[in-house]
Amino acid sequence: MKSVGKIIGVNGNMVTVEVTGTVSMNEVGYILVDDKKLKSEVIRILGNTCQMQVFEMTKGIRIGDSVEFSDELLAVELGPGLLKQVYDGLQNPLPELAEAAGFFLERGIYLKALDREVEWDFTPIAKVGDSVEKADTLGSVPEGPFVHQIMVPFNYLKKYSVKSIKEAGKYKVDDVIAVLEDEKGNTFDVKMYFEWPVKRAIDCYSERLKPTKPMVTKVRLVDTFLPVALGGTYCIPGPFGAGKTVLQQVTSKNAEVDIVIVAACGERAGEVVETLKEFPELIDPKTGNSLMERTVIICNTSSMPVASREASVYTAVTIAEYYRQMGLNVLLLADSTSRWAQAMREMSGRLEEIPGEEAFPAYLESVIAGFYERAGIVRLKDGREGSVTIGGTVSPAGGNFEEPVTQATLKVVGAFHGLSRERSDARKYPAIDPMDSWSKYPSVLNVDAVNYARKILFRGGEIEAMMKVVGEEGTALSDFTIYLKSDFLDAVYLQQNSFDPVDAAVIVDRQKHIFAYILEIMGAEFSFEDKDEARIFFNALRQAFIDYNGVEWKTDEFYKREKAMLETLNEKKVGLDSTAAELLKVGV
Amino acid sequence: MRKVYSKIESISGNVISVKATDVQYGELARVSTTYGDTLAEVIKLDGDLVSMQVFAGGRGISTGDEVRFLGNPMRVSFSENLQGRIFDGSGKPRDNGPELTENLITIGGPSVNPAKRIIPRNMIRTGIPMIDLFNTLVESQKLPIFSVSGEPYNQLLSRIAMQAEVDLIILGGMGLKYDDYLFFKEELENGGAMSRTIMFVHTASDPVVESLMVPDISLAVAEKFALQGKKVLVLLTDMTNFADAMKEIAITQEQVPSNRGYPGDLYSQLASRYEKAVDFEGSGSITILGVTTMPGDDVTHPVPDNTGYITEGQYYLKNGRIEPFGSLSRLKQQVNDKTRDDHRAIMDGMIKLYAAYKSSVEKKSMGFNMSQWDEKLLKYGKQFEKGMMDLSVNIPLEKALDLGWEILASCFEKDETGLKTDLINQYWPEGK
């Protein structure tokens, strides 16, 4: 029996409702205003009244307006047709919404997340009489480059036997493709899609594994120095303008995963639209098809209602977990989790909860932890592996990493890519600070070689700081050379031009190839007369290396530039440090 | 006939409450006081208790004053007749022109479906190298000018307005000093731009609630013109005053304050205004330039901080110059690949060297000997500041790019610039 209610208070996007019947926490209800239904979620219950956050603007609501409860939690539809979609935080398909409503997001219009008219080419896998349980495969349909498995809905908690299953053929998502029977003889119609409440993690796997395989991003600084693992988590905090969004966009295009889910929560529409319009045009190097075929975009811009912003990351992670159940590697990029946390703060304020640090709610940490913990690499019941990797940006005020959202995030992620204002001011992109950042995951390169280079980078930083006190003339030539080496490493390896078609994405093989030269240069002994000569040499070497970075891998031009770079190097190189020589022998 | 309520239950600051039924959230009411009529907007419903913020403020309102609900939210008249006119924050004429009442449109409407947006693609030329070359302004962009009191931000705003190639300018003033209001009026009149300008101005001495209406009125009108195919430039000054007005009202309402006393929904409130910037597919566009003064030059202050995360970059105005550090146009890459093929390289290359110049200046001020490299950077920095950063420089982009190469060539060897050899071969000035 679904409950009903009456509005007794309105304050911003929160309403107070007097309820007849039972109501559950996070249940969805609809407020009837004029001829529209406004979607809302129960966020507090007190006796026979409850408070609901409205996912829409609340203008025009009156005391006494009716509320219809749905008896369901906020849920998303899972089934074939999710890929290529652009949804808002509540899984409304935005392009279809534009067809229905025009330029503006008129409230009260909700469309089905999955197209009901598309016919899918179904191939049964389970047979009549088979014993099945949740997440077992009943059949499959092709979806873009993937085999989309039609599974027993995850909320089917018992054992069932397959009573009937459709033959191979074309079906719509609403068609019943199988009938299951439980031990008591009750039958259940299974369609190609089902609903799942977004705030509950999907855990139909046999075990969670330790993330150790690298997730290649083709960003040198990340893959080599601050790697991310499949099924791992990482965060990118940084002040505005330091390049978080560009870094996310580059990763979404180039990361070596099956599926990318981009969740824009509270982002600028101008930037989201770039992804929206650009992705269908871009070609996925793996499949030769549009990049959009392996992408889902959850798009909740900053001006969309706060409650739907709060829901958007859950919608995204639920879809990610669903595809993980098919044995795929999914990357979820959330931009920005601070805006999501702010949405929580806003709702908490409306509920007049006692505020915690910086007015964030006291449960901020556990909610953030709960979200990131939904990542993971898992072994499915049939032995295959699938993963959800989560990369979230954080936007702390003024780039101050001490604030609660950054700190709560740092506690639960496996890698930290902190962007610095100084680096972005100096146009050093990606502006990830190599000193402050860290990763607990293994590099794609030999760890000793990476550490050798890292030491020079650190030492160079120390010398630079020292030079600020004692001046260049007070610095020994040998120290000055180390400083120039670290500056060189920064300029030609850590920095990467995201607008250069070649330099924007560097495959691991090429990273290994050029890192060997980097290592050689880091370990080289030089004969310089004085500092000016050293500087002139490194300027020339940097120039040669930048030109080398900008040419296509393994072309004639590539080898030509490589030769030119080596000639420049050998003009002044007189020896090689024994540790570097040893590392080069082993290979990077 | 709508009911008249003649018993005001409470008056607290600008917020009054009456007991009434059948009232809509966001509805307007007319309050008749001994000092004249004023509008009020419903901001909270709690059973039969209706709270409203009174546009003219709470001062002088008596518990016996009459409240009449109008049955509609705040609206503004929209027609061609708006052009060349000046209004206050509640839409009343500020000039001596007639009141406009035809074709009323609701303000604060829903946002544009991102799927209906097009990627911004047209550069707005301003003749200011720090903008055109280094941080190009793009049609449909939303950009604040971050500054502090005392800086010539309104002068910069009006200069951009005068030189920018747009069809219509809408100026929204919030808490504007009367002198500044007159400055804008004079500038736009003298520059011959008043006929394509509409002003909604709330001055510092007007009731604070009216300040809240200014962005919504300005943007609602801008939106209608944009949908008719016009390129509209909306100038908002000063958004910090707008946020402060919001804070004042939230606190009187006894809302739980968030950061530094601002209401918890500051971000959402600012976003719903700035996100009105748009390029409509097959129609016109809205570009928003706002001023955000930073109390104590503190960019972590909630207003500039939240603004920075909503807008597509910002121009930092400091010591009368647009600073290369901190200034950013996020949309510049949408247009600067179509200008000239050296644009991006010069844009980044010159700033990298300017950053190096800054550290040489620091070393020099600490009394260290200058190396040959430092001397080169010092020479470069001075030329850069004079040729590019000075706000009086007014040259087209192409001239600015040529000037960039001139400056580089007069200070450095080719391989000291960090630019690609191919570009250097193409653009390095003859004989250098």
Mean pLDDT of A107-126: 95
Residue A109 and residue A125 in one domain: no
Q: Would you say residue A199 lies in a domain? A: no
Q: Does the structure show a pLDDT above 60 at B304?
A: yes
Task: Give the phi and the psi of residue A483 in degrees, each rounded to 5.
Answer: -60, -45
Judge contact between A89 and A304, C-beta under 8 A.
yes
Judge contact between A121 and A144, C-beta under 8 A.
no
> Which CATH number belongs to the domain containing residue A173 in this structure?
2.40.50.100
Mean pLDDT of A483-502: 94
Facing A105 at nearest CB: one of B110, B277, B309: B110
> Tell me: the pLDDT tens digits for A444-477?
999 999 999 999 999 999 999 998 888 888 899 9
Residue B113 and residue B34 in one domain: no
Q: B73, B94, B113: which is the final residue of a domain?
A: B73
Q: Does the structure show a pLDDT above 80 at B426?
A: yes
> Tell me: the pLDDT tens digits for B356-407?
999 899 989 988 888 899 999 999 999 999 999 998 888 999 999 999 999 9
- Per-residue pLDDT band at A274 (split at 50, 70, 90): confident
Q: Is B135 on the interface with A (CB under 8 A)?
A: no
Residue A435 and residue A564 in one domain: no
Q: Does the structure show a pLDDT above 60 at A565?
A: yes
Residue A109 and residue A127 in one domain: no
> Which CATH number belongs to the domain containing residue A331 in this structure?
3.40.50.300
- Per-residue pLDDT band at A336 (split at 50, 70, 90): confident
Residue A281 and residue A154 in one domain: no
Residue A477 and residue A552 in one domain: yes
Among candidate residues A552, A511, A549, A439, the one with its CA nearest the CA of residue A220: A511
Residue B319 and residue B307 in one domain: yes
Residue A86 and residue A62 in one domain: no
Q: How buried is A351 (Cβ within 10 angstroms: 0-12 exposed, 13-18 middle, 19+ buried)?
A: middle
Q: Is B113 on the interface with A (CB under 8 A)?
A: yes
- A295 a known binding residue? no
Q: Would you say residue B99 lies in a domain? A: yes
The pLDDT, as a whole number, for residue A328 is: 98
The count of residues in chain A is: 588
Q: Is A350 on the interface with B (CB under 8 A)?
A: yes
The pLDDT, as a whole number, for residue A536 is: 93
SS3 of B22, please? coil
The pLDDT, as a whole number, for residue A306 is: 81
Residue B409 and residue B365 in one domain: yes
Residue type for B112, please? V
Task: Give the phi and the psi of residue A414 in degrees, each rounded to 5.
Answer: -95, -15
Q: Does the structure show a pLDDT above 90 at A135?
A: yes
> Which CATH number belongs to the domain containing residue A544 in this structure?
1.10.1140.10
Residue A238 and residue A374 in one domain: yes
Q: Is B313 on the interface with A (CB under 8 A)?
A: yes
CB atoms within 10 A of CB B388: 23
Q: A380, A410, A439: which is the final residue of a domain?
A: A439
Judge contact between B63 and B8, C-beta under 8 A.
yes
- A369 a known binding residue? no
Residue B329 and residue B350 in one domain: no
Among A residues 174-233, those touching chain B with beta carbons less than 8 Å apart: none
> Which CATH number belongs to the domain containing residue B127 in this structure?
3.40.50.12240
- State chain B's mean pLDDT as an integer: 92
Which residues on chain A are in Cβ contact (under 8 Å) with B263? 349
Mean pLDDT of B295-321: 91
The pLDDT, as a whole number, for residue A246 is: 87
Q: Would you say residue A198 lies in a domain? A: no
Cα distance between residue A162 and residue A70, in whole Å: 30
Q: Would you say residue B114 lies in a domain? A: yes
Residue A333 and residue A429 in one domain: yes
> Tell me: the pLDDT tens digits for A349-366?
888 888 898 889 999 999
Cα Rg of chain A (Å, integer) = 27
Overall domain count for chain A: 4
Q: Is A94 on the interface with B (CB under 8 A)?
A: yes
Mean pLDDT of A296-306: 86
- A245 a known binding residue? yes
Q: Is A100 on the interface with B (CB under 8 A)?
A: no
Read out DSSP for A216-270?
Answer: --S-HIIIIIS--BTT-EEEEE--TTSSHHHHHHHHHHH-SSSEEEEEEEEE-HH
Which residues on chain A are in Cβ contact (under 8 Å) with B421? 543, 547
Facing B112 at nearest CB: one of A60, A103, A428: A103
Residue B312 and residue B232 in one domain: yes
Query: Cβ contact (<8 Å) for A62 and B120?
Result: no
CB pairs under 8 A between A and B: 238
Read out DSSP for A120-134?
Answer: EEEEE-S-TT-EE-T
Cα distance between residue A338 and residue A336, in whole Å: 5
- Distance, in angstroms, between B330 CA and closest chain A CA? 8
Q: Would you say residue B338 lies in a domain? A: no
Q: Would you say residue A197 lies in a domain? A: no
Contacts of A166 (CB under 8 A, 6+ apart): A122, A124, A139, A175, A176, A177, A178
Overall domain count for chain B: 3
The pLDDT, as a whole number, for residue B207 is: 86
Q: Which of A118-127, A542-551, B186-195 has the lowest mean pLDDT?
A: B186-195
Residue A97 and residue A155 in one domain: no
Among candidate residues A321, A330, A86, the one with its CA nearest the CA of residue A200: A321
Q: Which of A406-410, B305-309, B350-354 has the lowest mean pLDDT?
A: B305-309
Query: Six-digit token pair at A372?
Result: 């990131």
The Cα-based distances of A255 to A221, A299, A510 in angstroms read 14, 20, 15
Q: Would you say residue A200 lies in a domain? A: no
- Distance, in angstroms, between A166 CA and closest chain B CA? 37
- State chain A's mean pLDDT as an integer: 93
> Tell me: the pLDDT tens digits for A140-171?
999 999 999 999 999 999 999 999 999 999 99
Residue A414 and residue A493 in one domain: no
Domain encompassing residue A355? 82-113+205-439
% of chain B beyond a pLDDT of 70: 99
Q: Is A127 on the interface with B (CB under 8 A)?
A: no
Residue B307 and residue B268 in one domain: yes
Q: Would you say residue B273 lies in a domain? A: yes
> Tell me: the pLDDT tens digits for B48-83?
999 999 988 888 899 999 999 999 999 999 999 999
Contacts of A560 (CB under 8 A, 6+ apart): none
Domain encompassing residue B12? 4-73
- Per-residue pLDDT band at B287 (split at 50, 70, 90): very high
Among B residues 147-186, those touching chain A with beta carbons less than 8 Å apart: none
% of chain A beyond a pLDDT of 90: 78
Q: Would you say residue B398 lies in a domain? A: yes
Residue A274 and residue A411 in one domain: yes
> Which CATH number belongs to the domain containing residue A58 in this structure?
2.40.10.170
Residue A463 and residue A422 in one domain: no
Residue B153 and residue B166 in one domain: yes
Cα Rg of chain B (Å, integer) = 25
Q: B51, B73, B95: which is the final residue of a domain?
A: B73
Q: Which of A273-287, A323-337, B215-229, B314-328 has the lowest mean pLDDT?
A: A273-287
Mean pLDDT of A319-330: 98
Cα distance between residue B138 and residue B158, in whole Å: 17
The pLDDT, as a whole number, for residue A260 is: 96
Q: B73, B100, B130: which is the final residue of a domain?
A: B73
Q: Would you say residue B249 lies in a domain? A: yes
Give the H or E element holding residue B380: helix B372-384
Among candidate residues A274, A269, A170, A336, the one with its CA nearest the CA of residue A498: A274
Which residues on chain B are in Cβ contact (under 8 Å) with A272? 114
The pLDDT, as a whole number, for residue A155 is: 94
The pLDDT, as a whole number, for residue A459 is: 97
> Tell me: the pLDDT tens digits for B231-257?
999 999 999 999 999 998 888 777 778
Cα distance between residue A440 and residue A469, in whole Å: 34
SS3 of A422, please? helix
Q: A192, A226, A249: which is the final residue of a domain?
A: A192
> What is the model's pTM?
0.90
- Per-residue pLDDT band at B1 (split at 50, 70, 90): low
Q: Does the structure show a pLDDT above 90 at B349?
A: yes
Residue B95 and residue B28 in one domain: no
The pLDDT, as a whole number, for residue B134 is: 96
The pLDDT, as a whole number, for residue B35 is: 86
Q: A160, A192, A224: which is the final residue of a domain?
A: A192
